[in-house]
Structure 1
Amino acid sequence: MTELTTEEARQRLDVSPQHIRGLLRVGKLDGRQLSSGTWLIDEDSLERRIALSVGPVRNWSALSSWALLGELSGEPNLVTISTRTRARVRERIRLTTADEIARRVASRTTVTRYDADDLLDTATDMVPTGEAALDMLDTDLSPRELAIEGYVSTASMQEFVREHLLIPDRRGAIVVYEDPGLFIGRDYAPVAVVAADLARSTATRERSAGIQALEEMRQRWLATRTK
C-alpha cells in the first residue's frame, strides 16, 4: 500500500489541507493518523476520489442517473419518471460523453466494503455488477479469482448485513452497492449499470473498459434514433 502526505494529496486534488482533513474525517478518503497528528493517505483511496470527481459541475440526481442507465441498457422503464425528465435524460445521452456519464452517475449509489466468514454464501444474495459481472460486457478483461461486487437482491441492506454477519472493512473482499430496490429477484444488474460500476474502479484497465462499454451502448442507442 502506497501512502501520501496531506500536502501530496492536496496537490493531487488541488484543494486545501483543511479540505483533505475533512475528507478523512468523514471517511471519503482512507488514511491513518500518526501519534504526531500527521495524516498518511492511502493512494488508492485518493485515486478513487479523483476518478469520481466531476469538477465544478453537479452530479445528476439519483433518479435521473438510474433512468439514463436504464435507457442505455434497453430498459427505459427501470425507474418511473415524468415525460419531462425522460426527455432531459435522452438529451443528456445525445450530448454527454461516456466518460462524463460515468462521472455524473457515480453518486447515485453508495459503496461499502465488508468482510465475512463465508464470502461465497454472501455472494448468493447479491446481484453481480462491475468486475463481478464482466461476462455481461463485450470486453477481454478477466475478473479476479474471487470478485464479489453487487447489489443486495433479497432484503434491506440492514437485514443483509445482519444475516451474513458482515463487518465493515475498507479493504474487505465484499463490495456492496446501496440497493435502491431495483434489483430484487434479478440475476444481474442492467448492463449499463454494470459498465458504470466498472468505471468506478481505480484500476485504469477496468475503468477504461467500463467507459468503453458505456460509449458502445450510447452509440447503439443513438443509432436507433437517427434511422
Structure 2
Amino acid sequence: MSEMTAAEAAEVLEVSQRQVARLASKEVLTVSRVVGRTLLLDSASVHRLAQRARRNGRPWSAATAWAALALLSGKQADWMDAARLSRLRHRLRGINASDLVWLSRRRATIHQMRGWDAVTGLVPTGVSALRDPENAALFGLSATDRGSDGYVAASAFPELVTGSGLYDDIEGDVVVRVVPDDAGYRLEQSLVAAVAVDLAEALDTREAAAGERILTELLTEFRAGDGHRNRTRR
C-alpha cells in the first residue's frame, strides 16, 4: 500500500491538514497507520477523492469565493464586474452546500497555530463566531471557549504573529485564515456564509452538520430570489 502524510494529502486535495483529519475521521480517506503524531493515509483513497471532487469544477479564486459568500450573506461584491457577478449568480443557483464548500476552499490559507498571548485582530468565524449569542442560536450550537478561529488580511498577518507570539503547530488551538490582499473582501465583519462554510469543514460532526444546514438554507433563499433575508453578523 502506497502511503502519504496528511500534509501531502492536503496539498493534493487543496484543503487544510485539519480538513484531511476530518475526512479521515469520517472514513472518507483511508488511514493506513499512525506513527507518533503523524497520520499516514492510503494514497489511492486520496487520489480517488481528488478525482471525484474535481468533477464539481475547479476551485474559485479567492475573489470569486468571497463574492459568493458575500452574495449569500445578503451583501454586495463590488470588487467583481457585472459580467462575472452574473455568471457567479447563475452558478450559485445550481450548486449544493457540499459544492460550495469545495469551490470556495481557496478563500484563505489556513494556519493551525499556538501562541503565548491572547489573539486579537481576527474577524471571528467557526467556533469563535458562536460566542455571539445570535450566531449560536442561528446554528443551534452552544458557545465554546475552545481556541480561536478567524480571518486576517495577508498584509496584517506578520504583525498578528509577532503580537501574539504565534507559531505553526498542527495540534494548536488557534486557526488563522489568511485572506489574500487582492481577494476584494475587506474583512470588516463576519459573513454568515463564511462562518457556515468554516463550520461545515469542522472535525466536530454537530458543527459540520450545522454549517451544511445553514449553507443549504442560504442557497435555497438565494435561488428563491430572497437574498435580502440572508443574514450577516458582526
Q: TM-score, normalised by structure 2?
A: 0.70
CA contact (8 A) 2:148 2:173 kept: yes
The equivalent residue for 1:14 is: none
The equivalent residue for 1:23 is: 8
CA contact (8 A) 2:154 2:179 kept: no
The equivalent residue for 2:23 is: none
Q: 1:21-170 maps to which residues of 2 (within 5 A)?
A: 23=8, 40=35, 41-42=38-39, 54-56=53-55, 57-77=57-77, 79-118=78-117, 121-122=118-119, 124-134=120-130, 135=132, 136=135, 138-152=138-152, 156-170=156-170
CA contact (8 A) 2:127 2:146 kept: no
Q: Deviations over 1:159-202 (max 9, x none)?
A: 21112211111111110001335345x3x421111111111212
Tell me the distance in 1 between the aligned counterparts of 2:199 and 2:91.
21
Structure 1 67/201 Cα, relative in aligned 2: closer, same or farther at 3 Å?
Answer: same
Structure 1 71/29 Cα, relative in aligned 2: closer, same or farther at 3 Å?
Answer: closer
CA contact (8 A) 1:151 1:183 kept: no
Q: Deviations over 1:128-156 (max 9, x none)?
A: 00121124361221233233100127961
Deviates more, 1:133-142 or 1:147-156: 147-156
The equivalent residue for 1:177 is: 177
Tell me the distance in 1 between the aligned counterparts of 2:174 and 2:225.
38
Structure having the higher Rg: 1
Q: Compute the RMSD of aligned alpha carbons.
A: 3.6
CA contact (8 A) 2:154 2:178 kept: no
2:220 is equivalent to residue 224 of structure 1: no
Tell me the distance in 2 between the aligned counterparts of 1:88 and 1:99.
19
Q: TM-score, normalised by structure 1?
A: 0.72
Gaps of 5+ in 1: 1-6, 8-16, 31-37
Structure 1 180/214 Cα, relative in aligned 2: closer, same or farther at 3 Å?
Answer: same
The equivalent residue for 1:35 is: none
Percentage identity across paired residues of the two chains: 28
CA displacement at 1:225 relative to structure 2: 5.8
